[in-house]
């Protein structure tokens, strides 16, 4: 079965969704990503959806779930590159993606992640010692 | 008015993606702005997912509605699922859960201009409509068709999608492969079943074939037996009318002569029919003996010309024998070849009313085959009948057929004979034009079984066979000189072993034995010969360099001579020991005609007759005949019983018995008879020559007697 590739960049994981995902593929990404966070002790996840024309309720919900789960695993999630039409549609659909941090592009997203991680370092969030 | 653009079937998750992609692409092509493209695609995604997840799959139809601006982009997504139970709640968005679950329908509704939903127990259909932007050009069906084509033909843009697609194709191919494999396995097991059936059928066929073979054998035996039953009275009629016509019992009036001639003719015709039947039965029973000899085709044609001229009574018909050219001498059975050709020619003469019958021969040097050809200008044979004429008793339906008589056995018999000679027959014919029969006969007859040394010597019917056991070729040569021109035919062998093998095939009338044979014990051979009741009667002349007359005579030799032997002594001794004269003869036969014929064949001898087995036994004891002629079919005891009783009684044990029969004997019967009887005489030929020959050469094999029976024609 096909998979969405997950790249490791330092202490962050980088996911670039290039294809129009069907539901199972989205769920697989969710599983893979949480596993990789645990395996690599990643502190942040950056998901680039600039190639996506459509984000429907299921994919939107999956992105929300990924963000929530990462946070529990002590990793911040930033979704970058969302197209304006997609953003409009999500809102109209009634799915404003609460709890998901977003940025306009990858560079801004990385910056956001670094800041978030640096800010949290002393406290170390939920991670068990 | 609406134009269908395309339809996407929704059977899996990937199809949901495809449906929303098509929705977006079509929206772009129709001129909807980017935001609407995304809205529409998202709405389609929500509804299509529902159709897949809850409806078990369905389809999305894309069409354009309206003949004038503004046109509506219409998407209808339907499934055949169980329907939505709480549609009202869902539409009101009250079922919306915390993280967006259940907002599909209500969300989609917000994303399009018009939204219709119909749901029942037999399925759900959702129609989404979006108005084309004002000012966009009116789209005609042709343009829509082109759009659909473009979409369907369009290749995935990026390599990942390409791989994905190929992956899916691969998965589909693998799935198909698996299905094929299952089909194959199924087919295989089916084949195995069939195979088992075939094996069972095969066994059944084998059994059937065996039955058929047995039935065929029984048929042949029946035919052969019946034929002989017919032959006995027929032979009597022929022989008796022969006697009458020969005036041996006084003169006949012309009228009587005519009547007797007619009786004789009738009997002969009937005999011919029976003989044909018998020949056929014999070929089938494998009892026909091939006697190969070298002969010239020209001579064969000459003989045939003479023989068949009497059949040519129609002056509109010519019988032409072409002069054979460049044909080597043929080594085969001339009698059989002649029989085949006679059959062809007499058929041709029968079925040709005018024109000619032409007989020719050609030689094929490569195949070493002589092909005889008999062509006529007669009625011809239809193609469908050309194989049938070679079947027994088949005759064709034709006016001319009704005029001529025939048994319908000639061609089948000819074919069998040709096969026995290693050849074949075939026919070419056109109805109304004529027929040509071909007989291809190998120039050199190759017997199927290897010949024994004795069979290599052609037995001369008119001479008595004398087995000479002599290792010295010079002495053997001298014997041959001595016996040349005498009534004795020499069968030379060099060892006792050869002598044994010759005696299996031929019963010699006498044996000339040398005692000093290298590595062999001639003493033992002599003792065996004389102690075996089957051979004790054969006179043995010991001619040797060993001077031990007493031992030789004690072992049962009939005469003794120290080398060198003189011609006069040898011939005299052989004559004395094989002389059949001075014998009193008893005939045991209930058939008066047979007794009568036998008596006439034994002129000047003292003949006593018995009409039954018991009387015969009594006479044998009382009168002590030298020879007994015994019929196998008697009213009170069977011939076999009489024979056994004769051989049990010490008073009659040593009297030679000649069995007279009209049947072809079964092998076990022959063996049984061979143990006791000296000779077997066929009732078919009770001529003085045959009878005295039987007397002079006691203990001849049945086969050679039978051989005489084949010479009728």
> What interface predicted TM-score (ipTM) does this complex get?
0.83
- pLDDT (average), residues A39-52: 93
Residue B287 has what pLDDT? 64
Determine contact, residues B275/B407, Cβ cutoff 8 Å: no
Residue A128: pLDDT band with limits 50, 70, 90: very low
Residue B350 has what pLDDT? 80
Phi-psi domain of B694 (left: phi exceeds 0; alpha: psi -120 through 50; beta: other): alpha
Residue A121: pLDDT band with limits 50, 70, 90: low
CA distances from B203 to A109, B192, B200 (A): 84, 17, 5
Domain-embedded: residue A104: yes
Averaged pLDDT score across all residues of chain B: 80
CB-CB neighbors (< 8 A) of A94 in chain B: 93, 96, 100, 103, 106-107, 110
Contact A18 B100 (CB under 8 A): no
Please give the Cα distance from B654 to B51 (Å, whole number).
Answer: 114
On the question of pLDDT at B449 being above 50, the answer is no
* Residue of B37, B100, B164 lying closest to A19 (CB–CB): B164
Residue B33 Cα to chain centre, angstroms: 89
On the question of pLDDT at B19 being above 70, the answer is yes
Exposed/middle/buried for B188, CB within 10 Å: 0-12, 13-18, 19+?
exposed
| Sheet containing strand A76-80, strands side by side | A6-9, A12-16, A44-48, A76-80, A101-103
Domain-embedded: residue A86: yes
On the question of pLDDT at A103 being above 90, the answer is yes
Please give the Cα distance from B281 to A36 (Å, whole number).
Answer: 97
Segment B215-270, tens digit of pLDDT = 887 877 777 677 667 777 888 888 888 888 888 778 888 898 888 888 888 888 88
Which of A17, A20, A98 to mutate to probe the B interface, most B CBs <10 Å? A20
User: What is the count of structural domains for chain A?
Assistant: 1
Contact A23 B13 (CB under 8 A): yes
Which of A54, A66, A96, A97 to mutate to probe the B interface, most B CBs <10 Å? A54
On the question of pLDDT at B529 being above 50, the answer is yes
Tell which residue, A78, A70, A67, A1, has the closest CA to residue A37. Answer: A70
* Residue of B13, B34, B161 lying closest to A85 (CB–CB): B34
Segment B547-583, tens digit of pLDDT = 777 778 777 787 888 877 888 888 888 887 776 544 5
Residue B323 Cα to chain centre, angstroms: 37
Residue A78 has what pLDDT? 95
Contact B100 A94 (CB under 8 A): yes
Ranking A61-75, B380-394, B487-501, B588-602 by mean pLDDT, the lowest is B380-394
Listing DSSP states for B509-538 in one string gives SEEEE-S--TT--HHHHHHHHHHSTTTTTS
Instruction: State the nearest Cα–Cα gap between A122 and chain B, in angstroms.
Output: 31
Which of B11, B12, B17, B38 to mutate to probe the A interface, most A CBs <10 Å? B38
Cα-only R_g, chain A: 14
Instruction: State the nearest Cα–Cα gap between A111 and chain B, in angstroms.
Output: 28
Q: Looking at mean pLDDT, say which of B34-48, B146-160, B301-315, B374-388 comes out highest.
A: B34-48
Ranking A116-125, B64-73, B415-424, B697-706 by mean pLDDT, the lowest is B697-706
In chain A, what is the greatest distance between 2 CA atoms, to the nearest angstrom? Answer: 43
CA distances from B438 to A111, B347, B371, B373 (A): 110, 13, 6, 5
Contact B37 A92 (CB under 8 A): no
Residue B285 has what pLDDT? 61
Exposed/middle/buried for A128, CB within 10 Å: 0-12, 13-18, 19+?
exposed
Determine contact, residues B72/B66, Cβ cutoff 8 Å: yes
Please give the Cα distance from B469 to B508 (Å, whole number).
Answer: 12
Residue B701 has what pLDDT? 35
- Nearest-5° Cα angle at A123, A122 to A127: 120
Segment B91-141, tens digit of pLDDT = 776 655 444 456 788 888 888 999 999 888 888 999 999 998 888 888 888
Supply the DSSP symbol for B154.
Answer: P
Residue B634: which residues within 8 A CB-CB, separation 6 or more?
A: B588, B589, B590, B612, B613, B616, B642
Residue B707: which residues within 8 A CB-CB, separation 6 or more?
A: B289, B291
Contact B35 A89 (CB under 8 A): yes
Helix H or strand E segment including B473: helix B473-483
Domain-embedded: residue A128: no
Instruction: State the nearest Cα–Cα gap between A66 and chain B, in angstroms.
Output: 12
Structure tokens at A9: 């960049």
- pLDDT (average), residues B426-431: 86
Q: Which residue of A has its CA nearest to B23?
A: A54
Contact B39 A22 (CB under 8 A): no
Domain-embedded: residue A126: no
On the question of pLDDT at A30 being above 90, the answer is yes
Give me the total of CB pairs closer than 8 Å, taking one residue from chain A and one from chain B: 91
* Share above pLDDT 90 across residues of chain B, in percent, rounded to a whole number: 8
Please give the Cα distance from B483 to B493 (Å, whole number).
Answer: 15
Cα-only R_g, chain B: 51
Ranking B179-183, B256-260, B653-657 by mean pLDDT, the lowest is B653-657
Domain-embedded: residue A87: yes
Tell which residue, B315, B317, B276, B4, has the closest CA to residue B139. Answer: B4
Domain-embedded: residue A59: yes
Domain that holds residue A14: 6-118
Averaged pLDDT score across all residues of chain A: 87
Determine contact, residues B682/B239, Cβ cutoff 8 Å: no
Which of B8, B42, B167 to mutate to probe the A interface, most A CBs <10 Å? B42
Tell which residue, B498, B482, B489, B445, has the closest CA to residue B561. Answer: B482
Ranking A114-118, B162-166, B648-652 by mean pLDDT, the lowest is B162-166
CB-CB neighbors (< 8 A) of A27 in chain B: none
pTM above 0.80, yes or no: no
Ranking A35-39, B241-245, B445-449, B580-584 by mean pLDDT, the lowest is B580-584
For residue A17, is the peptide bond before it cis, meaning its omega torsion is within 30 degrees of 0?
no
Domain-embedded: residue A92: yes
Between B547 and B207, the higher pLDDT residue:
B207
Ranking B306-310, B397-401, B437-441, B496-500 by mean pLDDT, the lowest is B397-401
Tokens 């789209």 belong to residue: B139
Please give the Cα distance from B483 to B499 (Å, whole number).
Answer: 19
Residue B89 has what pLDDT? 76
Please give the Cα distance from B116 to B540 (Å, whole number).
Answer: 128
Contact B107 A61 (CB under 8 A): no
Determine contact, residues B10/B52, Cβ cutoff 8 Å: yes
Residue A1: pLDDT band with limits 50, 70, 90: low
On the question of pLDDT at A17 being above 80, the answer is yes
On the question of pLDDT at B665 being above 80, the answer is no
- pLDDT (average), residues B30-49: 90
Residue B692 has what pLDDT? 67
Residue B169 has what pLDDT? 76
On the question of pLDDT at A67 being above 60, the answer is yes
On the question of pLDDT at B1 being above 80, the answer is no
Which CATH number fits the domain that encloses residue A13?
Answer: 3.30.750.24
CB-CB neighbors (< 8 A) of A60 in chain B: 100
Determine contact, residues A39/A69, Cβ cutoff 8 Å: no
Domain-embedded: residue A37: yes
Please give the Cα distance from A92 to B107 (Å, whole number).
Answer: 7
Residue B400 has what pLDDT? 53
Contact B106 A94 (CB under 8 A): yes
């Amino acid at each position: 079965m096909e998979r969405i590739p997950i790249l490791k960049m330092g202490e962050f994981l980088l996911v670039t969704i290039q294809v129009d995902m069907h539901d199972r593929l989205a769920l697989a990404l969710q599983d893979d990503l949480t596993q990789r966070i645990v395996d690599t002790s990643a502190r942040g996840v950056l998901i680039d959806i600039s190639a996506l024309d459509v984000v429907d309720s299921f994919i939107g919900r999956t992105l929300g779930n990924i963000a929530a789960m990462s946070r529990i695993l002590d990793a911040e999630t930033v979704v970058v590159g969302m197209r304006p039409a997609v953003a409009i549609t999500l809102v109209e659909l009634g799915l404003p993606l609460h709890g998901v941090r977003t940025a306009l592009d990858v560079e801004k997203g990385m910056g956001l992640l670094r800041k978030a991680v640096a800010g949290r370092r002393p406290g170390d969030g939920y991670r068990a010692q | 008015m609406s134009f269908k653009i395309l339809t996407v079937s929704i059977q899996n998750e990937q199809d949901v993606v495809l449906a929303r992609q098509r929705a977006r692409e079509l929206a772009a092509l129709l001129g909807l702005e980017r935001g609407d493209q995304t809205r529409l695609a998202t709405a389609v995604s929500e509804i299509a997912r529902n159709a897949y997840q809850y409806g078990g799959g369905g389809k999305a139809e894309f069409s354009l509605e309206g003949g004038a601006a503004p046109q509506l982009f219409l998407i209808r997504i339907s499934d055949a699922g169980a329907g939505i139970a709480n549609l009202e709640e869902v539409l009101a968005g009250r079922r919306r859960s915390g993280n967006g679950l259940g907002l599909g329908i209500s969300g989609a509704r917000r994303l399009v201009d018009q939204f219709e939903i119909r749901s029942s127990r037999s399925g759900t259909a959702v129609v989404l409509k979006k108005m084309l932007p004002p000012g966009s050009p009116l789209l005609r069906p042709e343009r829509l068709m082109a759009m659909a084509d473009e979409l369907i033909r369009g290749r995935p843009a990026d390599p990942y999608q390409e791989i994905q697609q190929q992956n899916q194709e691969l998965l589909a191919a693998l799935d198909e492969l698996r299905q094929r494999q299952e089909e194959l396995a199924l087919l295989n097991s089916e084949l195995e079943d069939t195979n088992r059936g075939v094996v069972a059928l095969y066994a059944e066929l084998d059994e059937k074939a065996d039955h058929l073979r047995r039935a065929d054998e029984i048929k042949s035996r029946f035919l052969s037996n019946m034929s002989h039953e017919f032959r006995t009275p027929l032979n009597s009629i022929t022989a008796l009318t022969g006697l009458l016509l020969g005036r041996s019992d006084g003169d006949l009036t012309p009228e009587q002569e005519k009547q007797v001639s007619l009786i004789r003719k009738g009997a002969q015709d009937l005999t011919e029919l029976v003989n044909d039947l018998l020949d056929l039965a014999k070929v089938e029973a494998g009892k026909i003996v091939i006697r190969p000899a070298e002969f010239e085709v020209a001579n064969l044609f000459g003989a045939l010309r003479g023989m068949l001229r009497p059949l040519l009574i129609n002056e509109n018909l010519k019988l032409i024998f072409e002069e054979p050219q460049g044909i080597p001498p043929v080594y085969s059975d001339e009698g059989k070849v002649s029989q085949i050709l006679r059959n062809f020619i007499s058929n041709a003469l029968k079925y040709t009313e005018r024109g000619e019958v032409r007989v020719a021969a050609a030689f094929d040097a490569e195949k070493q085959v002589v092909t005889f050809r008999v062509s006529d200008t007669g009625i011809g044979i239809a193609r469908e009948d050309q194989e049938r004429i070679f079947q027994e008793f088949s005759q064709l339906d034709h006016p001319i057929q009704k005029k001529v008589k025939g048994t319908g056995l000639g061609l089948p018999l000819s074919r069998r004979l040709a096969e026995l000679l290693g050849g074949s027959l075939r026919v070419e014919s056109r109805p109304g034009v004529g027929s040509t029969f071909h007989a291809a006969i190998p120039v050199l007859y190759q017997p199927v079984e290897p010949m024994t040394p004795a069979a290599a010597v052609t037995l001369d019917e008119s001479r008595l066979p004398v087995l000479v056991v002599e290792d010295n070729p010079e002495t053997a040569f001298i014997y041959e000189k001595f016996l040349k021109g005498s009534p004795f035919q020499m069968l030379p062998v060099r060892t006792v072993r050869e002598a044994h093998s010759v005696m299996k095939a031929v019963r010699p009338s006498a044996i000339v034995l040398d005692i000093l044979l290298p590595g062999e014990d001639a003493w033992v051979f002599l003792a065996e010969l004389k102690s075996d009741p089957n051979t004790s009667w054969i006179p043995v002349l010991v001619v040797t360099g060993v001077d031990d007359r007493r031992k030789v005579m004690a072992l049962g030799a009939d005469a003794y001579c120290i080398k060198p032997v003189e011609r006069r002594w040898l011939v005299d001794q052989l004559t004395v020991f094989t002389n059949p004269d001075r014998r009193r003869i008893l005939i045991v036969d209930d058939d008066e005609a047979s007794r009568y014929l036998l008596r006439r064949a034994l002129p000047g001898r003292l003949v006593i007759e018995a009409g039954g087995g018991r009387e015969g036994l009594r006479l044998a004891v009382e009168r002590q005949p030298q020879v007994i002629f015994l019929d196998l079919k008697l009213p009170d005891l069977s011939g076999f019983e009489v024979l056994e009783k004769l051989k049990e009684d010490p008073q009659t044990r040593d009297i030679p018995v000649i069995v007279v029969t009209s049947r072809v004997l079964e092998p076990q019967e022959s063996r049984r008879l061979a143990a006791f009887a000296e000779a077997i005489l066929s009732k078919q030929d009770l001529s003085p020559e045959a009878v005295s020959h039987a007397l002079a050469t006691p203990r001849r094999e049945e086969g050679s007697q039978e051989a005489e029976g084949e010479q009728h024609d």
